[in-house]
């Protein structure tokens, strides 16, 4: 799919949701866009003649008819989001107003913008690097505050800065190799600054290792709450969601089907599933519910298995826990610790009360570490969450490992330079210094329209 038909087209798009609201924002950008707006406004305001970064109140007119009383923010090239002349129209948020304005803009010479086209133009016009452009979409799609913070960090250039440091180290290394190729008689040693190679490899490896956590913070995980009937699964489900979604009862088998809800746990977007209690089914409806329960458990990224601490483990609990062979983490929770007569928790269990909330912080921390594969990276560490970036970093790392192997085998400088150049190409593709039009179109097509 080609996002941009022509980089010289004036484009327009709704930047806010297509729903009734107090206000809506319509963005326009491109050469001649302000001149196209000028005939549409009244009250002695000419967008083309206005200074950049100014806001003006005016009436948009369709011929002699007033369409809406709006505010227009004017931006001038090159100090705009896209690097082009452009404007943002703040109008009333009724759907008829929005539709009328978009229709008027289309009739006036604006093309409807494709997904991500404003940000794509910002990249093409040098207003941001490619990792920063990706971060724009990541902020829009962030599901938790932690994901938002990480995306904002990437938008600030945290990934690009590290990639650039690795690339600069390799540039120095390549320059020294080129000297050895051009002047072989002056060679006194291997000519390779291994410290530069070490630094580049360390930076790339550290970034690669952040991807699993970065992806989880952006995309989230699914967690099934399992256990015998009346173990407190629905109570824990409600507690983690911070709302009463599931019916809680002392009657065994209250939950016949699974329930789903979304929660933020330690900054991770989590799809929680409250499942039917595991027991020997006696009727067709319960059999069907247990079948669905096992499907949810089998597909979950992690499982919280609850045991009623006042009753202790029975044969069914032991069979489930001892028979767990999936790679997904299984966390064991000894529930109802608030009740009198609760039994001591066996080794390996988290003690909690889904009613009082005791132990819930321990469950959340354990769940986060289990799904992240270890303790979360520190707040100052940028996390890669883009599959494109991960693949290119992995490719660069493979080139650096070949370079190190070739160096140890005494390869000639021209052969070493090939591996060095391949690693640099991968790093430059991450930042957008080297670009492929098809890759760019595919990447920006995942953005929302108006961004």
Q: Tell me the domain boundaries of the chain.
A: 11-127, 140-214+386-431, 220-372
**CA dihedral sign, ordered 48, 52, 53, 57:** negative
**CA dihedral sign, ordered 303, 308, 313, 316:** negative
pLDDT at 229 over 90: no
Name which of 233-247, 319-333, 369-383 the model is least confident about: 233-247
User: Binning pLDDT at 50, 70 and 90, where does residue 284 land?
Assistant: low
Residue 1: predicted pLDDT? 41
Q: 159 with 208: CB under 8 angstroms?
A: no
pLDDT at 438 over 80: no
Q: How far is CA 92 from CA 33, 65, 68, 112, in A?
A: 21, 16, 7, 20
Gap between the Cα atoms of 181 and 174, Å rounded: 10
Residue 4 φ/ψ, nearest 5 degrees: -105, 115
Give the pairing of strands 21-29 and 86-93.
antiparallel
Residue 269: predicted pLDDT? 94
* Cα-based angle 114, 38, 89 (whole degrees, multiple of 5): 50
Percent of the chain with pLDDT over 70: 89
Closest C-alpha among 253, 42, 22, 14 to residue 110: 14
The CATH class that applies to domain 220-372 reads alpha beta
Most confident of the following: 15-19, 28-32, 132-136, 445-449: 28-32
Mean pLDDT of the chain: 87
Element (H, E) at 93: strand 86-93
Residue 254: predicted pLDDT? 52
**283-297 b/e (C-beta count within 10 Å ≥ 16 → b):** eeebeebbeebeebb
Instruction: Write out pLDDT tens, residues 343-356.
Output: 999 999 999 999 99
CATH number of 11-127: 3.30.1360.120
User: Binning pLDDT at 50, 70 and 90, where does residue 2 land?
Assistant: very low
**CA dihedral sign, ordered 336, 337, 338, 343:** positive
Gap between the Cα atoms of 275 and 294, Å rounded: 9
User: Where do the H-state alpha helices sit in 269-386?
Assistant: 284-299, 315-322, 360-372
Gap between the Cα atoms of 124 and 52, Å rounded: 21
User: Where do the H-state alpha helices sit in 300-373?
Assistant: 315-322, 360-372
How far does Cα 15 stand from its chain's mean position?
20
Choices 1.20.58.1610, 3.40.50.300, 1.20.120.430, 3.30.420.40: CATH for 140-214+386-431 = 1.20.120.430
Closest C-alpha among 371, 441, 420, 437 to residue 200: 420
User: Where do the H-state alpha helices sit in 127-193?
Assistant: 130-141, 145-155, 158-182
The mean pLDDT of 379-404, rounded to a whole number, is 91
pLDDT at 106 over 50: yes
Gap between the Cα atoms of 273 and 300, Å rounded: 9
Count CB-CB contacts under 10 A for residue 264.
17
Cis peptide before 78 (omega within 30 of 0): yes
Q: Hey, what's the torsion of the CAs at 343, 344, 348, 354, to 10 degrees?
A: 50
Q: Do domains 11-127 and 140-214+386-431 have the same CATH topology?
A: no
């Amino acid at each position: 799919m080609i996002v941009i038909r022509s980089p010289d087209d004036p484009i327009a798009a709704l930047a806010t949701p297509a729903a009734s609201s107090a206000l809506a924002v319509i963005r326009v950008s491109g050469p001649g866009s302000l001149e196209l707006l000028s005939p549409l406004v009244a009250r002695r305001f000419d967008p083309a003649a206005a200074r950049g970064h100014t806001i003006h109140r005016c009436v948009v007119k369709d011929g002699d008819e007033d369409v809406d009383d709006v505010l227009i923010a004017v931006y001038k090239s090159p100090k705009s989001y896209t690097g082009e002349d452009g404007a943002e129209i703040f109008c009333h948020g009724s759907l008829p107003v929005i539709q009328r304005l978009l229709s008027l803009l289309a009739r006036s010479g604006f093309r409807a913008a494709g997904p991500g086209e404003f940000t794509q133009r910002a990249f093409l016009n040098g207003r941001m690097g490619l990792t920063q452009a990706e971060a724009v979409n990541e902020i829009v799609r962030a599901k938790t505050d932690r994901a938002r913070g990480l995306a904002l960090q990437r938008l600030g250039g945290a990934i690009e800065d590290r990639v650039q440091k690795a690339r600069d180290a390799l540039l120095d290394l390549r320059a020294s190799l080129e000297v050895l190729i051009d002047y072989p008689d002056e060679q006194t040693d291997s000519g390779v600054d291994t410290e530069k190679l070490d630094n580049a490899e360390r930076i790339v490896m550290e970034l690669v290792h952040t991807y699993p956590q970065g992806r989880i913070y952006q995309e989230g995980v699914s967690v099934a709450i399992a256990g015998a009937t009346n173990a407190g699964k629905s109570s824990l489900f409600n507690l983690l969601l911070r709302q009463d979604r599931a019916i809680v009862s002392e009657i065994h088998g209250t939950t016949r089907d699974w329930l789903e809800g979304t929660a933020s746990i330690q900054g991770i977007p989590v799809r929680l599933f409250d499942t039917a209690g595991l027991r020997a089914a006696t009727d067709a409806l319960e059999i069907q519910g247990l079948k669905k329960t096992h499907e949810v458990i089998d597909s979950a990224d992690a499982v919280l298995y609850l045991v009623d601490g006042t009753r202790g483990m029975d044969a069914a609990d032991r069979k489930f826990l001892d028979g767990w062979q999936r790679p997904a983490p299984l966390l064991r929770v000894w529930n109802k610790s608030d009740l009198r007569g609760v039994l001591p928790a066996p080794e390996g269990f988290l003690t909690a009360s889904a009613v009082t909330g005791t132990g819930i912080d321990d469950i959340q921390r354990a769940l986060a570490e289990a799904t992240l594969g270890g303790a979360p990276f520190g707040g100052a560490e940028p996390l890669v969450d883009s599959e494109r970036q991960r693949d290119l970093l992995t490719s660069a790392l493979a080139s650096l490992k070949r370079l190190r192997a070739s160096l140890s085998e005494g390869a000639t400088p021209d052969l070493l330079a090939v591996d060095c150049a391949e690693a640099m190409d991968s790093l430059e593709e991450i930042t957008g210094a080297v670009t492929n039009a098809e890759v760019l179109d595919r990447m920006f097509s995942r953005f929302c329209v108006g961004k």
